[in-house]
């Protein structure tokens, strides 16, 4: 097949076997087929895909559920009563939607309590000493300060390299402030996650870090940190971009002091759970496509984009398949994983539940990047990060599709199959396949070779909102939300019903 032209709801789509760069090339090679698949998947499933896309245009159940979750349950930090309320509500939602085998898998999760917190910078002004409040949020899992707080002079650093170059006697007893600039979420979160222990090794009393965002709106972003057990645990908090830049400027002029007070502490673990419901496969019920996101959130905002939009788009995707009476050969399992934000206990428990039946896990799909304008599907076995590592990297579809000739034969076949599947999504603009796909919750599956996928969106504002007070349901645009659900629904249904299965790679998509 040198190219496939599909007339679809008024749109003409062309799928070439070497990707977009070689569409229509007369010397293009035939598209590799998955073993057991006879003919193009788009030819077999175009009618079903059309039904799903049409139904998704007007289906409001998913967005209504998202609104209820955000407005009436709200933030859902692991270990809180609000999370367990959301879990029971999620199970009821699945039952009402007609899903089968609805269960809550018990999972023990950590209970981190923020408590009261505040910060202030103290520095010389034209008319005397100035005390200015900091826009701050303690980092998840941080320890607290002594009751009266910590007051110490600041050491400003722009990088871990600068830390290594600074003698320990210049850091001991001080508060280190990191501002590496904005180089993308993957870079900036290294400071948030590991910075506290790095500076504690040199005797720092506390750490402040610029929030992992490119948006300067005096909004601090929380997130989890990981302590090195070999180092002392010190308090750590994120500060707004503006405050980080101001401290940087002031530190060049002379001494800056910060007062930090945090009541953060850990309590005993609490039982929560993964919520699961199924459309049981008609021919191979033991073979499973897992799809979902995480039901927990941080203790600020409403957890709307992160990850209410993910679990509710996945819910709508599965509910649409059930409403339309489609009967896939394999089982589709909708999962709301727990404790993604500060521990990952849900993903690990899910993997333990599967135990030795890992070969029956045909694919795992996780949506945890917000429900902004969707572009297509990321495929973890192709390599690459599951989320862009540089600002703006997801702002447009890839200029060219993957070059199949550079891949192993099984990946050639799988990518070609995915390209064929997404060709049916042209009317909603989600017809690209890109490297990188997966998520934290499904990483224990992908580590053992289960093919992992995730939606690709523009993520134009995701990192402006997530982990902040501004992650509220008004940030989720209903039309784009339904497009995400439609894309997930078509891809999930075809993967669950087609005869072949995608290739996986151990460790891919983590």
Q: Catalytic site residues? A: 340
Long-range contacts of 474-479 (CB under 8 A, 24+ apart): 474/304, 475/304, 475/305, 476/63, 476/66, 476/304, 476/305, 476/308, 476/309, 476/370, 476/371, 477/371, 477/372, 478/60, 478/63
473/71 Cα distance (integer angstroms): 8
Contact, 418 vs 495, CB < 8 A? no
- Tell me how far apart the alpha carbons of residues 40 and 349 are, in angstroms, rounded to a whole number: 37
Length of the chain in residues, anyone?
A: 510
For residue 111, give the 3-state DSSP assignment: strand
Q: Do 398 and 375 contact (CB within 8 A), yes or no?
A: no
Separation of alpha carbons 423 and 417, rounded Å: 10
Strands 374-379 and 432-435, how do they pair?
parallel
- Tell me phi and psi for residue 54, to 5 degrees: -65, -45
Residue 303 structure tokens: 């957890």
Closest among 428, 439, 412, 437 to 503, alpha carbons compared: 412
Contacts of 164 by beta carbon, 8 Å cutoff, 6+ apart? none
């Amino acid at each position: 097949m040198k190219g496939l032209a599909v007339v679809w709801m008024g749109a003409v789509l062309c799928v070439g076997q070497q990707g977009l760069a070689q569409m229509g090339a007369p010397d293009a090679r035939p598209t590799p087929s998955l073993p057991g698949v006879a003919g193009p998947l788009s030819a077999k499933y175009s009618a079903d895909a059309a039904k799903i896309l049409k139904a998704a245009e007007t289906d409001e159940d998913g967005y209504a559920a998202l609104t209820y979750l955000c407005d009436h349950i709200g933030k859902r930090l692991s270990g809180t009563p609000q999370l367990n309320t959301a879990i029971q509500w999620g199970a009821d939602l699945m039952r009402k939607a007609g899903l089968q085998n609805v269960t809550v898998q018990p999972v023990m999760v950590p209970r981190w309590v923020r408590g009261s917190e505040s910060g202030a910078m103290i520095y010389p002004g034209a008319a005397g000493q100035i005390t200015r409040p900091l826009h701050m949020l303690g980092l998840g899992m941080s320890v607290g300060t002594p009751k009266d707080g910590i007051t110490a002079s600041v050491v400003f650093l722009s990088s871990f390299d600068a830390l290594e170059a600074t003698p320990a006697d210049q850091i001991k007893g001080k508060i280190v402030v990191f501002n590496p600039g904005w180089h993308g979420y993957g870079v900036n979160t290294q400071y948030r996650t590991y910075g506290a222990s790095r500076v504690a090794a040199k005797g720092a009393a506390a750490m402040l870090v610029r929030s992992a965002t490119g948006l300067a709106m005096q909004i601090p972003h929380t997130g989890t940190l990981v302590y090195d057990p070999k180092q002392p645990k010190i308090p750590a908090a994120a500060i707004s971009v503006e405050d980080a830049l101001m401290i940087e400027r002031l530190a060049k002029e002379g001494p800056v002091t910060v007062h930090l007070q945090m009541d953060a502490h850990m309590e005993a673990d609490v039982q929560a759970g993964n919520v699961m419901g199924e459309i049981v496969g008609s021919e191979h019920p033991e073979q499973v496509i897992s799809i979902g996101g995480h039901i927990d959130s941080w203790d600020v905002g409403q957890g709307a984009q992160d990850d209410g939009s993910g679990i509710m788009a996945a819910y709508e995707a599965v509910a649409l398949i059930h409403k339309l009476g489609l009967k896939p050969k394999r089982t589709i399992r909708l999962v709301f994983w727990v404790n993604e934000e500060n521990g990952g206990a849900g993903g690990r428990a899910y993997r333990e539940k599967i135990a030795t039946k890992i070969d029956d896990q045909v694919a795992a799909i996780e949506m945890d990047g917000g429900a902004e304008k969707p572009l297509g599907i990321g495929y973890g076995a192709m390599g690459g990060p599951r989320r862009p590592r540089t600002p703006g990297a997801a702002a447009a579809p890839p200029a060219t599709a993957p070059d199949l000739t550079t891949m192993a034969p099984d990946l050639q076949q799988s990518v070609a199959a995915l390209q064929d599947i997404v060709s049916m999504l042209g009317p909603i603009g989600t017809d690209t396949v890109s490297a990188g796909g997966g998520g934290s919750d499904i990483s224990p599956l992908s580590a053992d070779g289960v093919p992992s996928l995730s939606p690709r969106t523009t993520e134009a504002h995701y990192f402006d909102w997530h982990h902040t007070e501004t992650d509220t349901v008004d940030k989720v645009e209903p039309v784009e939300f339904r497009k995400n659900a439609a894309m997930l629904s078509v891809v999930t249904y075809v993967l669950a019903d087609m005869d072949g299965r995608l290739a996986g790679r151990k460790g891919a998509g983590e």
